[in-house]
Amino acid sequence: MRPATHGVVEAAPAKINLYLHVVGRRPDGYHLLDSLVAFAEHGDELRATAADEVTLALDGPFAPALTADDDNLVLRAARAVAATWRGAALTLVKNLPVAAGLGGGSADAAAALRALKGLWRAPIDDAHLRQIALRLGADVPVCLDGRTAFIGGIGEEIASAPRLPPAGLVLVNPGRPSPTAQVFAAFRGSFSRQARFMTVPRDAAHLAALLRAGGNDLTAAAQSLVPEIGDALAALAASPGCLLARMSGSGATCFGLYDDRVAAQRAVGWIAARAKDWWVVATALRT
């Protein structure tokens, strides 16, 4: 196989849980979920050029929070297929905070799989690639698709969802990690029902109205570990033009939904003036 001439660049967009319900628990202790997953325009970036071995360099504002060791999901993803496709020199530009409820590690691993497939022009079908993704983690397959979807099980069950309208997003992280395992261990609430809908939202306001029928069942557990989540939610809810404020995943990142990117950018200025040490980003839903 000849590699792509100038290398490959893959986006690893932030994964947003527009709602997240805990609907049960398996005998092995894993919680069963129902969630509507969407993706933001903002995220990490993975660059790949041809090489005989897999190597990983880290760059970007949140690179110091990571190590390029054997546990790194990008390396694990690349090595899972390197024996078949050969290696790659990878550079991960880490724009998203770590342990932040944005699926960053899973999105990065999915980007690595797509990047190596494109770099080596590998003739592999989607089903096989998804099997590899699932072995890396329950969230990796939905990140591999990169499309709005309902997820079930522990995150590995993927179902189609209505097309989302254009909408602005503000992502806020108060600067403290929220480890997923600890949040689930702290969860004490009763189980919820599915909150899926098949109505196609007309606009961002209609989407916010549909999402209000659900919530994020992990918010109280995450907030018990990272109290600043409550401050982030309050700031988003009070910002001008906010249609909905909610925590994503197991936190600590929270998001606000707005009519468009312009409204989101106005809200960023308002929030950043009140919390200068937070990570605050204006972006938009990928539709």
Catalytic residue positions, numbered: 15, 139
* Non-local CB neighbours of 242 within 8 Å, separated by 6+ positions: 170, 236, 256, 257, 258, 267
- Cα separation, 237 vs 247, in Å, equals 11
Question: Which residues, listed in sequence order, are joined to residue 30 by a DSSP beta bridge?
Answer: none
DSSP category for residue 189: P
Q: HSE-up of 62 (CA within 13 Å, CB side)? A: 18
**What residue spans of 86-174 are helical by DSSP H?**
104-119, 126-136, 140-145
Is-contact 67 33, C-beta < 8 A? no
Amino acid letter, 287: T
- How far from each other are the two terminal CA atoms of the chain, in whole angstroms? 34
- Cα separation, 171 vs 140, in Å, equals 21
> Helix, strand, or coil here: 12?
strand
Tokens of 46: 């993975």
- Cα separation, 188 vs 85, in Å, equals 45
